Structure 1
Amino acid sequence: MKTIQSGAGDARLISVTVDPAHDSPENLRGYIRRTGFGEGNWRLLTGDKRELYRFARKGLFVTATEGDGGPEDFIHSDRLVLLDKNLRIRGYYSGISDKEVQLLLDDLKKLQHER
């Protein structure tokens, strides 16, 4: 998996592509240049589809469906996952709920004060 970076800092947002065949590192860099999306502490993650889908299913647990990451396999989720610096899952939030996004921001502030 490859992250395309454009910033630094303690907290990072990571978006995982659902279309890695199209979302090559070069295409994502161009997208960042054209739109500004992915700047700052936002990372765009791409790579091998099977590896990305395994990460989503087995690492982040964002879907209950099984699959092999093959050509017909597709994952899409509105879930935001909060990971700590040790990559432990600290919370799940709906990305389409203003209330849950605010809860994520509040939890992130708390997490940044942990040692």
Structure 2
Amino acid sequence: MDVPKFELTNQNNQTISDQDMLGKVYVVEFFFTNCPTICPIMNQNLKEVEKAISDSNFGVISITIDPKRDTPENLKIHADRLGIQNPNWHFLTGDRDYIYKLSTEFNIYVGEDESTAEGLNHSGKLALIDKNGKIRSRYDERGFPILYYSGLNYTDPEGKNGSLAGQYHPQIEWLKEDIKKLLEE
């Protein structure tokens, strides 16, 4: 599946689009800087991925779902606070309706109404994009397709996700493996 077309503003006030990322392997996440729950974990896990990959053809696209507060200036502060060195890690902002529509095109859940607390709900899913602008995935150990990676390594205590109760899901490790494979293509 082709990556949805996008064009947003990054933490350096530069316009970044899907076309700018062609030739790179990258991960897309939806997040916001003031998120008190999963976003800090997702950002730290993506930093771990970035550290393990260290390839100039690898990048991360972090799209805020709270553009009113996450201005380019605030995204720059966030990137600096995280110690991001990769010039291909773009923290993107823009029009909230556009971002919401983009999340639906990616099929990654983001709350619709930003004026409510629900509007800042979002999934911890990550999309992996290859050098040709295609969304890529893998199969889990039981042969089921994983269309998106979890931004969180997690244990499924009750076996609700098609796994055995208590099974550990090493999604970030899988993501690293798959990025390395795609960089070699």
Q: TM range, normalised to the smaller chain?
A: 0.7 to 0.9
Moved runs in structure 1, 4+ residues, more than 2 A?
A: 30-33, 36-39, 69-75
CA distance in 1, matches of 2:84, 2:104: 23
- Matched residue, 1:78: 124
How has the CA–CA distance of structure 1 residues 102 and 83 changed in structure 2, closer, same or farther, with 3 Å as cutoff? same
Is 1:105 equivalent to 2:181 in the alignment?
Answer: no
With over 3 angstroms needed to count, the CA separation of the structure-2 counterparts of 1:37 and 1:51, relative to structure 1, is: farther
Larger radius of gyration: 2
TM-superposed CA distance for 1:70, in Å, is 5.3
Distance 1:88 1:75 in 2: 26
**Identity within the alignment, %:** 33
Taking only aligned residues, the RMSD between alpha carbons, in angstroms, comes to 2.4
TM-score normalized by the length of structure 2 = 0.51
SS where residue 11 of structure 2 aligns?
strand
Does residue 87 of structure 1 match 2:136? no
Q: Which runs of 5+ in 2 are unaligned?
A: 1-7, 13-54, 138-147, 154-168
What SS does the corresponding residue of 2:170 show, helix, strand or coil?
helix
- The one-letter amino acid paired with 1:83 is I
Structure 1 residue 66: Cα displacement? 7.9
**CA shift digits 1:69-89 (9 cap, x unpaired):** 653434411111101123211
Is the 2:151–2:172 Cα contact (8 Å) retained in structure 1? yes
Could you tell me the TM-score, scaled by structure 1's length? 0.78
Q: How far apart, CA to CA, are the structure 2 residues paired with 1:50 and 1:71?
A: 12
The 1:38–1:56 alpha-carbon spacing in structure 2 relative to 1, beyond 3 Å, is: farther
CA distance in 1, matches of 2:122, 2:111: 13
Instruction: Confirm or deny: 8 A CA contact 2:11 2:75 kept in the other structure.
Output: yes
How far did residue 32 of structure 1 move?
2.6
The answer on 1:43 being equivalent to 2:90 is yes
Deviation, structure 1 residue 93: 0.6
Distance 1:13 1:30 in 2: 17
1:4 is aligned with what amino acid? Q
Aligned counterpart, 1:4: 11
1:99 partner amino acid: P
CA distance in 2, matches of 1:22, 1:50: 15
Q: How many residue pairs end up in the alignment?
A: 108
